[in-house]
């Protein structure tokens, strides 16, 4: 069985695993049933692709979206891996080619959607082609508790039982209920090995802003990142259309995407986003699951997500290549009311509603955090962390004040008005604004009338929003969104607990938010040139730019400036196949000179210790080509044989003679053995 670490380097071009990958790859390679919960962008795909290359038979990958499958197949083929997909998006010729490759035993990975499992004879086909492993991507789709339930996933458990092969399931976010259901539905009576890997994505910059002209906030954020691929998530279909139009009018390449669009139009957007550099997609959550574009540089939420799990999943689509990426989430009282009412008015049982409120509370706590957001986010997933120094609150610590008295005044106003009014009316009471509505109800005679003049209207809006964020008050759907006090507010009202609030979260940003530079000013021109070369190659081949090289790989090239193919082979993401295909072209951009042609046998050793040994053996061979005295008949070894010596390094004359033959061993043996002994 091939060594996974060797395949990691030679095929995928990575010198080492990401945290948590090695153990999962080992378990899957050894045929153990596996459930892996890994962060979005944490390298889940590699955890079944690598074992597929090391194991016998075909690995069947069940994945939810056609676009995702096509992207992964394309990227695998570019890396020299035999992969195919059976999807409804295939042409007849593509499907025939996949079946022919399967029958010939040429494919290592076969991708298919769960809906294909319903076809008659599918189990028979998978048995006939020698399926050795089933990998399930986005495994939370099997769970009613997961946020993307797909009934067709329920057939996978029966397929696993019928084929009696190991199964590896992968998902980015799965709480306890979802994990239990995944295990029950996919693994049956078999108990998988469960890997719960760290949720930290240190390359993501986390930021929240209270809504204050939200359209302009999004436009400013995008303007500071012009030319970078991004996603803007919106709460409604109408907002995706209006905001994408506003971005287009501001000079951005922007399109909208939502579930109400014609399927052909949605596919067009998916294809454009995959292929084009710098496209912005303004979308509902219908866009996202299965987006495998690694060089998305930013994700913005124009509206508050529905839960902390959804937030984590959606921001996780940025920076999957490991290079810096940025996120911005806008939120306001209307968002909170909407999300609360969606939960309360839903048909879920009471226990599910309580769990959904808790998930929303966790997100609101993150939005109104007083300290490092990464500490808060990872704490929700059960991980301890030190302040990141990279989120908005670490970079600009918030101004905090003791808000206990303000909160008590607000709670008093809520209770004295019978928990029957929204924030607007309550603010009028607190600030002493005797509107017709206030006077008509006699609220100008309340003890709380005018007691809150320490804040202006904007300040009180921030107080009420933060109270909702801390779950001290909730909008009551049966009273048209009127605020009612929760049990957690009672200790504050009674003076038994104090509460800190943020004073700064309502202040307008003084300037447009600056984008973080991907490289230093010195390396920026080279990075631009490398991206231009990548774009030209991608357009010529009609593939997404990241299939050639990801942003992270180009950034490393720009920073390290490799001077030879050996150096280039040491760049993360440059495997043997990509070095052969693209190495010289990118090296020419970096060095400004054409690269000397390298023999294929030598190129396969590029970046490895055997490369230097090969060069020394070749040099020794040249010195001895006409014998030690320079008068003998010329003799040499084929390049493939020199490469074999450099790779296997025989240590004695007997082993060397078996490889070279007696005549070559007689001439070159002693010199070669001396070099090999030093290697």
pLDDT single digits (tens) 102-130: 989 999 999 998 888 877 788 889 999 99
Check residue 46 and give its pLDDT.
93
pLDDT of residue 406: 95
Buried b (16+ CB within 10 A) or exposed e, 402-425: ebbebbbbbbbbbeebeeebbbeb
Residue 152: exposure state from Cβ atoms within 10 A (0-12, 13-18, ≥19): middle
**Pair 299, 231: CB distance under 8 Å:** yes
Four-way CATH pick for 400-502: 3.10.180.10, 1.10.3480.10, 3.40.50.261, 1.10.10.10: 1.10.10.10
Cα 466 to Cα 500: distance, rounded to the nearest angstrom: 10
Taking the whole predicted model, whether its pTM rises above 0.75 is answered as no
As a CATH number, domain 4-196 is 3.40.50.300
Residue of higher predicted confidence among 359 and 230: 230
444 pairs with which residues across the strands?
Answer: none
For residue 194, what are the β-bridge partners? Answer: 35
Q: In this model, does residue 208 exceed pLDDT 50?
A: yes
How many other CB atoms are found less than 10 A from the CB of residue 31? 14
pLDDT of res. 512: 46
pLDDT at 514 over 70: no
pLDDT tens, residue by residue, 2-46: 889 989 988 998 888 988 899 999 999 999 999 999 877 778 899
**pLDDT for the residue numbered 291:** 65
Angle (deg, nearest 10), helices 333-344 and 457-469: 30
Q: Percentage of the chain surpassing pLDDT 70?
A: 96
Is residue 613 over pLDDT 70?
yes
Cβ neighbour number for residue 586 with a 10 Å cutoff:
26
Fold of 204-331+369-395: Rossmann fold (3.40.50)
The reported pLDDT for the residue numbered 289 is 57
Nearest C-alpha neighbor of 157 from the set 177, 181, 178, 175: 181
Q: Which band of pLDDT confidence, cut at 50, 70 and 90, is reported for residue 510?
A: very low
Is the pLDDT score of 328 beyond 80?
yes
With b for 16 or more beta-carbon neighbours within 10 A and e for fewer, the 320-343 pattern comes to: bbbbbbbbbbbbbbebbbbbbbeb
CA–CA gap between residue 305 and residue 512 (Å, rounded): 24
Choose between 606 and 147: higher pLDDT: 606
Cα–Cα dist 334/323, whole Å: 34
pLDDT for position 409: 95
d(CA 106, CA 93): 17
Percent of the chain with pLDDT over 90: 44
In sequence order, which residues have a C-beta less than 8 Å from that of residue 293 and are 6 or more positions away? 71, 229, 273, 274, 317, 320, 544, 546
What average pLDDT score do residues 70-93 get?
A: 89
- pLDDT of 446 strictly over 90: yes
Instruction: Give the mean model confidence (pLDDT) for residues 78-95.
Output: 89
Average pLDDT, the chain: 88
At 509 the pLDDT is 42
Residues 6+ apart with CB under 8 A from 612: 566, 679
Phi, psi of 549 (to 5 degrees): -150, 145
pLDDT at site 254: 96
159-to-127, 128, 181, 185, 399 alpha-carbon distances in Å: 10, 14, 17, 11, 57
pLDDT for position 145: 62
Q: How far apart are CA 363 and CA 305, in angstroms?
A: 8
Local structure of residue 206 (DSSP, 8 states):
P
Q: In the block, which residue shows the tokens 């303004």?
A: 282
Instruction: Enter the tokens of residue 410.
Output: 């607000």
- Per-residue pLDDT averaged across 67-87, rounded? 89
The reported pLDDT for the residue numbered 204 is 94
pLDDT of residue 504: 66
Q: Which residue has the tokens 């600030």?
A: 431
What per-residue confidence (pLDDT) applies to 633? Answer: 87
Mean of pLDDT values over 265-279 = 87
For residues 308-331, give the mean pLDDT: 91
Question: What is the spatial distance between Cα 15 and Cα 573, in angstroms, rounded to a whole number?
Answer: 9
pLDDT of amino acid 515: 61
DSSP state letter for 40: T
Other Cβ atoms closer than 10 A to 668: 24
* In contact, 438 and 507? CB cutoff 8 Å: no
Q: What average pLDDT does range 204-208 have in this prediction? A: 95
pLDDT of residue 637: 87
pLDDT score of 642: 86
Q: Which residue has the higher pLDDT, 503 or 29?
A: 29
pLDDT at residue 677, as a whole number: 83
* Contact call for residues 473 and 441 (beta carbons, < 8 A): no
R_g (Cα) of the chain, nearest Å: 30
Nearest CA-CA partner of 423 in 351, 369, 354, 482: 482
Mean pLDDT of the region 571-575 = 91
Helix%, strand%, coil% for the chain, nearest 5: 50, 10, 40
Per-residue pLDDT at 52 exceeds 90 = yes
Spatial distance between the Cα atoms of 416 and 445, rounded to a whole number of angstroms: 11
What one-character DSSP code corresponds to residue 358? H
User: What's the rounded mean pLDDT across residues 161-175?
Assistant: 87
Assess whether pLDDT exceeds 70 at residue 399: yes
* CA gap 253, 245 in Å, rounded: 10
CATH class of 524-597: mainly alpha
Mean pLDDT over residues 540-560, rounded? 90
Separation between Cα atoms, residue 182 and residue 162, nearest integer Å:
18
Interatomic CA distance for residues 411 and 407, integer angstroms: 6
Most distant CA atoms of the chain, gap in Å: 118
């Amino acid at each position: 069985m091939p060594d996974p670490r060797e395949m990691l380097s030679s095929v995928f071009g990575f010198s080492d695993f990401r945290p948590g990958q090695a153990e999962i790859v080992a378990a899957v390679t050894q045929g153990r049933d596996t459930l892996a919960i890994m962060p979005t962008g944490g390298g889940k795909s590699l955890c079944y692709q690598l074992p597929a290359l090391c194991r016998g038979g075909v690995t069947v990958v069940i994945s939810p979206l056609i676009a995702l499958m096509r992207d992964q197949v394309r990227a695998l083929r570019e890396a020299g891996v035999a992969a195919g997909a059976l999807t409804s998006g295939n042409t007849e010729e593509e499907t025939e080619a996949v079946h022919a490759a399967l029958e010939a035993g040429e494919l290592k990975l076969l991708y298919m959607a769960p809906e294909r499992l319903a076809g008659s004879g599918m189990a028979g086909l998978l048995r006939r082609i020698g399926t050795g492993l089933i990998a399930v991507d986005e495994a939370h789709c099997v769970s009613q508790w997961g946020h993307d339930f797909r009934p067709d996933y329920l057939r996978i458990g029966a397929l696993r039982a019928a084929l009696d092969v190991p199964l590896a399931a992968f998902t980015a976010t799965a709480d306890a209920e979802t994990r239990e259901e995944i295990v029950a539905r996919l693994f049956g009576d078999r108990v998988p090995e469960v890997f719960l890997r760290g949720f930290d994505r240190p390359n993501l910059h986390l930021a929240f802003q209270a809504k204050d002209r939200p359209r302009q906030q999004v436009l400013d954020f995008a303007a500071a990142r012009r030319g970078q691929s991004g996603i803007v998530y919106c709460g409604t279909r109408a907002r995706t259309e209006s905001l994408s139009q506003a971005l287009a009018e501001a000079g951005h390449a922007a399109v909208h995407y939502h579930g109400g669009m014609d399927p052909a139009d949605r596919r067009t957007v998916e294809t454009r986003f995959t292929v084009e550099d710098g496209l912005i997609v303004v979308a509902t959550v219908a866009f996202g699951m299965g987006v495998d574009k690694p060089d998305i540089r930013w994700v913005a939420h124009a509206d508050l997500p529905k839960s902390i799990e959804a937030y984590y999943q959606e921001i996780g689509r940025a920076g999957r290549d490991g290079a810096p990426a940025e996120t911005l989430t806008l939120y306001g009282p209307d968002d909170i009311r909407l999300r609360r009412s969606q939960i309360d008015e839903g048909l879920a049982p009471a226990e599910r509603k309580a769990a959904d409120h808790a998930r929303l509370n966790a997100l609101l706590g993150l939005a109104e955090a007083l300290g490092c957001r990464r500490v808060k986010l990872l704490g929700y997933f059960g991980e301890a962390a030190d302040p990141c120094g990279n989120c908005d609150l670490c970079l600009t610590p918030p101004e905090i004040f003791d808000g206990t008295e303000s909160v008590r005044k607000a709670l008093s106003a809520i209770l004295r008005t019978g928990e029957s009014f929204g924030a607007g009316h309550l603010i009028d009471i607190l600030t002493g604004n005797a509107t017709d509505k206030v006077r008509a109800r006699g609220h100008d005679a309340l003890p709380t009338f005018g007691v809150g003049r320490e804040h202006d209207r904007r300040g009180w809006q921030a107080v009420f929003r933060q109270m909702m964020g801390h779950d001290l008050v909730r909008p009551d759907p049966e009273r048209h969104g009127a605020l009612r006090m929760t049990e957690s507010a009672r200790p504050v009202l009674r003076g038994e607990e104090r509460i800190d609030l943020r004073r700064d979260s309502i202040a307008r940003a003084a300037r447009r938010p600056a984008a973080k530079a991907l490289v230093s000013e010195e390396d920026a021109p080279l990075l631009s040139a490398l991206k231009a070369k990548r774009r030209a190659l991608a357009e010529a081949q009609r593939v997404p730019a990241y299939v050639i090289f990801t942003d992270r790989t180009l950034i490393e090239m720009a920073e390290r400036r490799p001077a030879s193919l050996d150096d280039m082979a040491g760049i993360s993401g440059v495997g043997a196949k990509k070095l052969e295909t693209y190495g010289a072209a990118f090296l020419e951009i970096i060095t400004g000179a054409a690269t000397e042609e390298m023999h294929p046998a030598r190129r396969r050793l590029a970046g490895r210790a055997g490369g230097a040994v090969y060069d020394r053996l070749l040099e020794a061979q040249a010195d001895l080509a006409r014998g030690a005295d320079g008068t003998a008949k010329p003799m040499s070894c084929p390049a493939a044989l020199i490469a074999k010596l450099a790779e296997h390094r025989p240590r004695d004359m007997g082993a060397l003679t078996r490889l070279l033959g007696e005549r070559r061993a007689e001439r070159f043996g002693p010199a070669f053995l001396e070099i090999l002994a030093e290697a």
